[in-house]
Structure 1
Amino acid sequence: MSIVFALSAISKSFGKNNQVNIIINANLEIKKGEIVALIGPSGSGKSTLLHIAGLLDTPSSGSVFINNIECSVTTSDREKTYLRRNFLGFVYQFHHLLQEFSVLENVMLPQIIIGKSNEIARKNAIELLSLVKLQDKLLMSISQLSGGERQRVAIARSLINYPSIILADEPTGSLDNDTALEVFSLLHKYAKEKNISVFLATHNHTLAKKADKIVQINSGTLQNYTYY
């Protein structure tokens, strides 16, 4: 399988003289359709690494490759925006849905942003919301949904532009165990069906074990992890 996403020698430091090392020479390759879980203790750099992977933060050194397109410290904001819109999907712990929009409008929005017509965006959004079993809640406001339902909306939104990879930062962290498993299972199912890669940061080792590969970050160092 082809490599759709890679981190090459990624480092991130803070402080006047870069004396605080958050990430140290991180390297990772993710194949098309592969689900990779990122684990590590709180404060280990998981979110920072996900933000760099999603082009939301800039590394001190190193490069991110998305479909063989290199993004480094010199890449312009305009180029990063293009890559995010066209190749990346995002799911967050607290979903970041727009409260003033309906369920349907939240899922349509990424397609509208890249220039799709309302008709096409609506059709694709309804299809995805049906897949995550929310077809009866299209016109509801976000405030009317449960936590699990909101995350299902977020998953549908992340899939709407058929990204090369979905970056998920603790997507089940605010949910109870049963709902967390349900939401993760949906993400896993549709990513596999559509052959979309997933890079998932989680504290939940039960969910991490369901990934194709697990990597661990500890004291800024990224390494493969195996359960015994």
Structure 2
Amino acid sequence: MKGALAFEWTKLWTVRSTPWSLFAAALLTAGVAAVVGVSAQASAENGFDTARPAPHTVADALTLGQLAVVVTATLAVTGEYASGSIRTTLHSVPVRGRMLIGKAAVVTGVLGAAGLCLSAIGTASAAPLMGETGSFTTADAVGSALGTGAYLAGLALLATGLGTVFRSTAGTITAMIMLLMAVPQLTQIAGIDWLETAGDFLPSAAGVVLMTQDTDPYGVGPAALVLAAWGLAALNGGYMTLRRRDA
């Protein structure tokens, strides 16, 4: 396993898509957080109650930033199928479960750490623009950072599993966009109670709870379990596909 982890780490950081995708995530997070901060301050000046801790704006800022993170996790898997280098990977780490766990561990760890950085970037971008409207404590910042890291780690696990199932960059990214953006919107506008309840258990809903430390519709603990369930289910599907199909 130690060799498998080192192998995956080397592959992840020797392709240009990884640093560029993470750089894009940082830019998008900073930009959207700034827009949210300006909007909150302007609304407060017009008499609206928009007060909330600045770190919580990261939940809005990652609406776009998370897509760059998804691309990073997806390409870590599907890029190998596109280039044919998956054959070399499986020759080097012939135990397929070990290979998949090694890849998932590296991608999840890197993107979880990236989540901590993105939370700090978003907070630093929004806080000066929000003024007193965005005042926050150290506990708010730490909780939001840990929640953001956990959320992006969960997305990485989910994308790794789906990428192994679909073996297609376009197919995996489309599925992730549907799951993170399209389906949540549909559950909200449908006006059907059971659909709205089901929407609370989608990955994006759990992510918002983690990043804002909210208690609605459930707390941080259940949110972490929901996100882990999605990721492990996808990874299990990827493992079954990897066992049954040739590279």
Fold agreement, TM-score > 0.5 = no
Give TM-score scaled by structure 2 length.
0.26
Question: Which structure's CA Rg is the greater one?
Answer: 2
Q: Larger % of strand: which?
A: 1
Scaled by the length of structure 1, the TM-score of the pair is: 0.28
